[in-house]
Amino acid sequence: MDLGLRGKRAIVTGGSRGIGRCCAIALAREGVSVCIAARTQEVLERVVEEINETGGKGHAVAVDLTIQENCEKVVQETVEIFGGVDILVNNVGAARNADILELPTELIDDALKLKSYSYLRMSQLVIPYMKANRWGRIINIAGGAGTSPTRGNIPTGVANITILNMTRALSDAVAGDGILVNTVCPGLTNTARARTQQRARAEREGREVEELLRYLGSELPAGRIAQPEEIANVVTFLASEACSYVFGSSVYMDGGGRRATP
């Protein structure tokens, strides 16, 4: 299938590792010029090399996206180098969590600042460029904790449910301008972040992290956890010309683990 992406311009936040890195590379393979943003310049530069090796064109901006001016910098550099912005993949942010009985509200503030607020700011900044072309795609990555909270993941859950609400509202605001706004909600995914998150539990249970991840995957209907490339494939479709009638929707990629309906 021709996804109609050749020549498009994209920003991927949190593009240095895991799902964000895979999204950037997948888009580049379809002929998209990609600007990636995250905090660590050295890691970003390695991903830019991977993007360029696909035959695509990459650019990196090392910034802290909790700051409005830094969000503006990412968009400004993308427009200066690539001539515009057609696609935004909001993926930045890993919240610190704690048990709700001991949870400092500052952790919720931190999660909102990095994830929810940066998603909104980046969206607001790119929408004028998308409106000018009557075409755009915004894909927000929001983990399943938004609809499936536990006592230990409330900062993550609050940030993600905010993103789900924001996706719906943004979609309503720009659908008439040819801009599609949707969310992908991954479950446990085979990334370095997942290993970091599960390390404390693995130590408590006397397991290796890899063993724990295999066990957690075996408990899902899919029988395994996701690969980041699988998430990137769906993001790439949602960013494409082939995706023309999906508005304000959430795609759950959790291996069937979600029990809520819808």
Residue-wise pLDDT for 4-38, tens only, equals 999 999 999 999 999 999 999 999 999 999 999 99
Is there a contact between 91 and 19 (Cβ–Cβ < 8 Å)? Answer: yes
- 83-109 burial code (b ≥16 CB/10 A, e <16): eebbbbbbbbbbbebeeeeeeeeebbe
Name the superfamily (CATH) of residues 9-187+227-247. Answer: NAD(P)-binding Rossmann-like Domain (3.40.50.720)
Residue-wise pLDDT for 85-143, tens only, equals 999 999 997 778 888 899 899 999 999 998 999 999 999 999 999 999 999 999 999 98
Q: Where are the domains of the chain?
A: 9-187+227-247, 190-225
Bigger pLDDT: 257 vs 78: 78
Band (pLDDT 50/70/90 cuts) for residue 259 is confident
Average of per-residue pLDDT across 38-47: 96
Task: Give the C-alpha separation, 20 to 112, whole Å.
Answer: 19
**Mean pLDDT (the chain, rounded):** 93
pLDDT value at 181 more than 90: yes
Pick from 44, 131, 19: nearest CA to 84: 131
pLDDT value at 240 more than 90: yes
Share of the chain above pLDDT 70, in %: 98
Task: Give the C-alpha separation, 85 to 216, whole Å.
Answer: 38
The helix-helix angle for 209-218 and 192-204 (nearest 10°) equals 100
The pTM assigned to this predicted structure is: 0.94
Q: Which residues of the chain form beta strands (DSSP E)?
A: 9-13, 33-38, 58-62, 87-90, 136-141, 179-186, 250-253
Which pLDDT score, from 0 to 100, does residue 261 have? 63
Band (pLDDT 50/70/90 cuts) for residue 262 is low
Pick from 90, 70, 100, 104: nearest CA to 137: 90
Task: Give the C-alpha separation, 178 to 131, whole Å.
Answer: 7
Band (pLDDT 50/70/90 cuts) for residue 209 is confident
Task: Give the C-alpha separation, 39 to 23, whole Å.
Answer: 17
Which pLDDT score, from 0 to 100, does residue 165 have? 95
3-state secondary structure of 13: strand
